[in-house]
Each structure stands twice: as structure tokens, then as C-alpha cells.
Structure 1
Amino acid sequence: MIDFTIPEEIREIRARVAEFIDDVVKPAEQQIGTRPYFDIVRELQAQARAAGLWCPFVPVEYGGMGLGHLANAIVQIEIGRSFTHLGAWAMNCMGPQDATMLTLIEHGTEDQKQRYLVPLVNGDIRICFSMTERAAGADATGMQTTAVKRGSTWVLNGEKWFTSGASISQVALVMARTDPDAPRHRRFTTFLVDLPHPGFEIVRNIPVMGENDLPRFGDEVTMGHAEVRIRDLEVPEENILGGLGQGFAMGQHRLGYGRLRHGMWSVAKAQAALDMATARACERVTFGKRLADRQGILWMLADCAEKLYVTRLMILHLAYKLEHGLDLRQENSIAKTYIAHMLCDVIDTAIQIHGSLGYTHDLPLAGWLNEARANRLVDGPDEVHRWTVGRNLVKAYERDGTTAAAVGGDLF
């Protein structure tokens, strides 16, 4: 029997989170731009902690709610309804630090957990992930930043690109090449770096697509994607996370959750866009008929409904595989690309149905589309995931005589 019933305890948690987003977070969003963003965040975090809504995915022993993967997926969709990310900041599950918390929980030493995980969970510090480079792009194994050992210290040199949140973080997780002669995926190591550090220079926050046209949160940096110059950055041996040569594995561990989180938040945004599109179709009259009474418009809405439905099922299946400790790399890559396109398509349809109004900043749709476009690049571009999925299809066929194992064949 396949049971899609959400357990009562999870429905109760979802209702609590939804109420918090609607009654506490959304009213606070109206204050953005009138006072410092992180002053608002601190106030919301105090209210979230008082309500017992803190770090949903973090085990109770470390100070979180200890939710399983299904419960967390459902909660994250509710959190995703806060389109300014205040909901995620309020409950301390904002990227990129959420995935790093999970990596520290699974792979950090006890000393690292005390120095970095505990203050991260407490909301006392923020952490960024410094992996991407201009020279390497989607090929993480092509990165040029080096780490050379001198005594008990490692000295890092290189450059990083798109280190999200570096300008507001007190710690960076930096990946560097420690052994150029090792097997390709064992050449790299990740280091925990306390910030600010003279060897970790933030050159600038990189301007991104549509940024200058979007409503701003005042002059305050609330995230940013930093270009970083690393020069003679000294890091002690005890700040290696996960072991020497395990940098690629650490990166994939935290990126795996990040891909899922993007998908869960995308459901909330796509649902909001589809609701707006349907409302517009019902109220807009042209040539004596509602848009909702025109077959072409209904087909556009139906296409969006199909994609959103498939996305929900994908996330439920991924949550199931996580709950049972099953390998989900193939499904995660399929879902990552599908959901990124789904969100762009649904928002674009909503803009089209709204006509010129949808293209303006009188509505949030144009800003959402700019932000959604990044999902086809972050945590691995479409092409890399599709390459991986295709390669796994060939491997499955050569092994089994069928591709079923690489396309959900374990289901039926």
C-alpha cells in the first residue's frame, strides 16, 4: 500500500509554521527598507525561538526541532512563502548556512561542533561556502586555489567567485587543492576560516541579473555574492572539515541539501505565481469575455498545474528516500533541473497572463523571475546535472539491460 497521508504530528507542525509566517513574518516584511534588515531578523528570531520554531532539520541535542526529512520538506515549503527570505532567517534555516550545519553535524569533530556548529545553531554567527571559481565554474575538480602545509598550518592562495553571504559572515568554509597528484576527487580539502581575516579579501559583491531594477532593502547588504581574493591565508590543521582530501565529498554533501531546499522553496513561489495568474484570469475581461473563459489561457494554467503537481511528488519521493537512507543522487539531479525550469515557466506564464502589468515592479513577478533564473545555475548548472543523469542511464542499461533503475524503477 502506498500512503500519501501526512501524519497528524507533521500537519500540526506545518500549521504552526504557517501561522508564524502569516501572523509574524509577513507583517514584518512591510518594515524592510525602513530600518536595518538584520534588526528585523533578530526580533523575528527571538519570536521563533519562543514559539519553538528553530532550526527545523537540526537534531534536538544540538538545539533544533529534530524534524525528519518529510516534516522538514513540508515545513520548508511554508517557510518558502516568505519571499524576502525573512522566514528562513527567522527560523535559522537560511542558505548557505543550513547545509553547512548538516555537514558539521555529520562530519565535524567535537571541537569544530563546539566552536562553529553551536554558535551557528544559536544564531550567533553566519557562515558562507567558498568553492566556486571563475577558472573552474561547474567543474569543482578544476579549482586552482591551493593549500600548502607549513608545519601545523596550511597556507591558502587563490581566488573565489560567488561566495554567497561572505560580506555578512563570521566564518567561511573554503575548498582548496591540497594534493595535485591524488585521484581527481581526493585532491581537495575544506577548511573552516574565521572572518574577518587579512588573507581573505572580499573584493566586491558581484552585480547580478536584474539587481539594479529590483526594489532594494535600503543600502544594507543582506546576502550578496562575493568575489574573494585569498593571499597567504593561514589555517590551522584542526580546522580541516571531514578529513584531508575529503573536500569534494564535503562540498557534495552540503550541495545535496541545498538543491533540495531550493526545490522546496520553489513550490511555494510557483504556487503563489499560479494563484496570481488564475486570479488575474478570473477578473480580467477582454473583448467581452474573461480570460478564464478562453481555452488558450486554460491550457496555460493547466501546463503550470501539471508541472507543480509533478514537483510536489518529486519532493515527497526525495524526502522518502532521505528518511530511509537511500541513494538519491540520480533523483536529486533530475528534480534539481526539472524544478528550476518549472519555477521559471510558471512565473513566466503568470507574467504573460498579467500582460504589461506583470512586467512591471508593481507586482513581484518580474523580481521573482530574475531570482528564479539563478536556480538553473546555482548548485550545479542544468547541463552538468543532465550529463550526470544521462551517464547514469547508460550505466544502468549496460548493467541491467534496461534504464529503469535510473528513472525511478525502484518504485515499480
Structure 2
Amino acid sequence: MIDFDLPADVRDVRARVAAFIDDVILPAEKEIGTRPFFGLVAELQKVARERGLWCPFVPVEYGGMGLGHLANAVVQVEVGRSFSHLAAWAMNCMGPQDATMLTLIEHGTEEQKQRYLIPLVNGDIRVCFAMTERAAGADATGMQTAAVQKGSSWVLNGEKWFTSGASISQLALVMAKTDPDAPRHEQYTTFLVELPDPGFEILRNIPVMGEHDGPSYGDEVTMGHAEVRINDLVVPDENILGGRGRGFAMGQHRLGYGRLRHGMWSIAKAQAALDMATARACERVTFGQRVADRQGVQWMLSDCAEKLYMTRLMVLHLAYKMEKGLDLRVENSIAKTYIANMLIDVIDTAMQIHGSLGYTHDLPLAAWLSEARMNRIVDGPDEVHRWTVGRSVVRAFEKAGTTASAAGGDLF
């Protein structure tokens, strides 16, 4: 039996999160830029805790709500309605916090969980993820940052690029090459690094497309994408996460959830853009006719609705596979590229229907489009995911004489 009804408990938690977004978060977004951002976040986090809306995906024993994958997917779509990400900050499910918590839960030692996971869940510290390097780009196995063992510690040297959130973090996950002679995917290890540390030098926050198009957060740095120099950074052996040579696997574990989270939030933003586009088409009259009554415009809206429908089905299917513990690597790559392009297309269509108004900063569409463009690069560029899927298609055919297993064939 195929059942798309949400269980009662999932509907209940969705309603509670939606009410929190509508009653608390959206009004608070008007205060951004008028006061210290993290002071506002602290107040909202207190309310979220009081309402039992804290770290949705974290097990209860570590201080979270203990939601399953389906419930969390539904909740994250609601969280995505806060386009300043204020809801995610308030509920302590902001990236890269969220994926790192999940990785620590799955692969951390008990000591690491007590020392790092619990403070992350409590909101006492923030974390960044230092994997990408300028020279390696999307090839995670091309990293050159090296770690050399000296006694019971490791000494790291190299550079990192686009370490999001480094400027505001007290903890970093740093990937470095520990075993250059091992098989390619077993050469790297992930280290837990406490910040600040003189060996982890933040050179600058890299200017990015559209970063001044969104809301102003005042003088505080709320995220930033840091360029980092790692120079004789000493890390104790007990701060290895997941085991020596398991760095690539750790990276893929946390990136997997990040790709899903981007998809969940993209649904909310695309829906808002489609709503804006349709409202504009209904209210605007040209040449004696509503824009909404023109077939060409209806086709544009239809295309957007089709893509949003497909996106919702993808996210639900991925949540189902996660609930069942099934392999979703191919589906995750398909969804990652599809949803990233879906969001760009829907926002661009909304801008087009708004005409010149859509291109101005009187509306949020221009800022949304700038941010959405990032999704085709972060957590693996489109081309790498399409390459992954393409190889899976070939392998499926070579193994079974059909490509079905690489194209959702397990559904029917």
C-alpha cells in the first residue's frame, strides 16, 4: 500500500513549528539589522526551547526532539519559510551545525559526544567544516592539507577555502591527508579542532555574489566563508572523528544531510516565489486583460508547479529511504541537482512575471536568485552529481541489462 497521509504526530509537530514561524519568527525578522543579531537569536532560542522546538533531528537523549526523517523533512520545509534563516538559528538546526551534530551522533566517541556534541546541541558553541581547498575544488580526494603524526598528536599544515562560519565558530571539523600511500578514499582523516587556535588562521571572509543583497545583520558576522591558513596546527589523537583514514566517509556523511536540507528549504522559497508570481499575474492588467489569463503566462506558472510537485515527491521519497535505512546516494544526487535548478527556474520566472519590479530590491526576488545560484555549487557542483548518476546508470545496465535500478526502479 502506498500512503501519502502524514501521521498524526507529524501533522501536530508541523503545526506547532508553523505557528512558531508565523507568530514569533516572521515578526522578529523585522528587527534584523536594528540590534545585535545573536542577541535576537538568543531570545528566540529561549522561546523555541519553551515550546519544545529544539534540534528537531537530534535524539532525545542528547537534548533534541528526536524526530524521524519524515517528520524532520516536513519541519524543515516550514523552517525554510524564514528566508533570513532566523528560524533555523532559533531552533538550532542551522547549517553547518545540523550535519555536524548528526555526524558526531553517528561516528563520535562517547568522550567526543560529551565534549562537543552536547555543547553544540545546547547552543553553547558553533562549528564550521573545513574541507574545501582552492586547488582541489569539488574533488575532495585532491586535498593537500597534510597531517603528520608526532607522538600522541598530529601536526597539520595547508590551506582551506570557503570554510563557512569559521569566523563565528568555537569548533572546526578539519579534513587532512594522513595516509598518502593508502587507497584514494582512505587517505584522509577528520579532526575536531577547538577554536580559536593560532595554527588555524582566518585570512579573510571571501566576498560572494549577492552577499549585500539580503538583510543587513549589523556589525556582527553571522556566517562568512573563510579563507584559512593552517600552520603547524597541533591536534591530539583523541580528536580524530570516525577513525583514521575515514575522513572522506565522514565528509560524505555530513554533506549528504546538507544536500537534503537545502532541498527542504528550497521548497519553501520556491513556493513563496510562485505565490508572488501568481498574485502579480492576477492583479496586473495589460492591454485590457489580466496577465494571469494569458496562456503563455499560465504555461510559465504550470512549469513552476510541475517542478515543485516533483521536488516534493523527491524529498518525501528520500525521507522514506532514510527512515528505512536504504541506500539513497543516487537519488540524493539526482535530487540535489534537480532541486537546485528548480529553485533558480521558479525564482527567475517570478522575476519575469513581475517585470522590472522583480529586478529591483523593492522585492526579495533578486536577493533570492543570488542566493539560489549558490546551490548549484555547494555540497558538490551539478556536474559532479550528474557524473555520479551517469556512472550509476552505466553500472546498472552492465550488471542487470537495464538501467532501472539507477532511475528509481525500486519504486516499481
TM over 0.5, shorter chain: yes
CA contact (8 A) 2:33 2:215 kept: no
Aligned to 2:116: 116
Matched, 1:47 2:47: yes
Aligned to 2:28: 28
In 2, distance between residues paired with 1:159 and 1:36? 31
CA contact (8 A) 1:131 1:163 kept: yes
In 2, distance between residues paired with 1:158 and 1:249? 21
Aligned to 1:152: 152
Q: SS of the counterpart of 2:341?
A: helix
For residue 212 of structure 1, report the CA deviation from its aligned partner: 3.5
In 2, distance between residues paired with 1:363 and 1:137? 34
Equivalence map 1:3-402=2 (5 Å): 3-402=3-402
CA contact (8 A) 1:280 1:354 kept: yes
Report the residue type matching 1:368 in the other structure. W
- Gaps of at least 5 residues in structure 2 are none
CA contact (8 A) 1:277 1:350 kept: yes
In 2, distance between residues paired with 1:393 and 1:231? 43
Q: SS of the counterpart of 2:31?
A: coil
CA contact (8 A) 1:206 1:224 kept: yes
For residue 287 of structure 1, report the CA deviation from its aligned partner: 0.9
Deviations 1:373-410 (A, max 9, x none): 00000000000000000000000000000000000100
For residue 214 of structure 1, report the CA deviation from its aligned partner: 4.0
CA contact (8 A) 2:84 2:215 kept: no
For residue 218 of structure 1, report the CA deviation from its aligned partner: 1.8
For residue 213 of structure 1, report the CA deviation from its aligned partner: 4.1
Matched, 1:404 2:396: no
Distance 1:25-1:212 versus aligned 2 partners, 3 A rule? closer
In 2, distance between residues paired with 1:317 and 1:189? 32
Greater Cα shift, 204-213 or 317-326: 204-213
In 2, distance between residues paired with 1:212 and 1:311? 29
Deviations 1:183-207 (A, max 9, x none): 0000000000000000000000000
Report the residue type matching 1:352 in the other structure. Q
In 2, distance between residues paired with 1:108 and 1:392? 31
Residue identity (%): 82
In 2, distance between residues paired with 1:347 and 1:273? 6
Q: SS of the counterpart of 1:111?
A: helix
Deviations 1:297-353 (A, max 9, x none): 000000000000000000000000000000000000000000000000000000000
Q: Which runs of 4+ in 1 moved over 4 A?
A: none
CA contact (8 A) 1:58 1:67 kept: yes
Report the residue type matching 1:64 in the other structure. G
Q: SS of the counterpart of 2:226?
A: strand
* Matched pairs, number: 412
In 2, distance between residues paired with 1:384 and 1:339? 15
CA contact (8 A) 2:276 2:350 kept: yes
CA contact (8 A) 1:214 1:361 kept: no
Q: SS of the counterpart of 1:190?
A: strand
For residue 216 of structure 1, report the CA deviation from its aligned partner: 2.1
For residue 362 of structure 1, report the CA deviation from its aligned partner: 0.5
For residue 211 of structure 1, report the CA deviation from its aligned partner: 2.0
For residue 112 of structure 1, report the CA deviation from its aligned partner: 0.3
In 2, distance between residues paired with 1:308 and 1:204? 37
Deviations 1:47-91 (A, max 9, x none): 000000000000000000000000000000000000000000000
In 2, distance between residues paired with 1:217 and 1:245? 40
For residue 210 of structure 1, report the CA deviation from its aligned partner: 1.8
In the superposition, the TM-score normalised over structure 2's length comes to: 0.99
In 1, distance between residues paired with 2:305 and 2:387? 27
In 1, distance between residues paired with 2:120 and 2:213? 33
Q: SS of the counterpart of 1:30?
A: helix
In 1, distance between residues paired with 2:224 and 2:123? 19
Q: SS of the counterpart of 1:10?
A: helix
Q: SS of the counterpart of 2:196?
A: coil
Report the residue type matching 2:331 in the other structure. E
For residue 250 of structure 1, report the CA deviation from its aligned partner: 0.2
CA RMSD after TM alignment: 0.6
Report the residue type matching 1:356 in the other structure. S
In 1, distance between residues paired with 2:80 and 2:172? 25
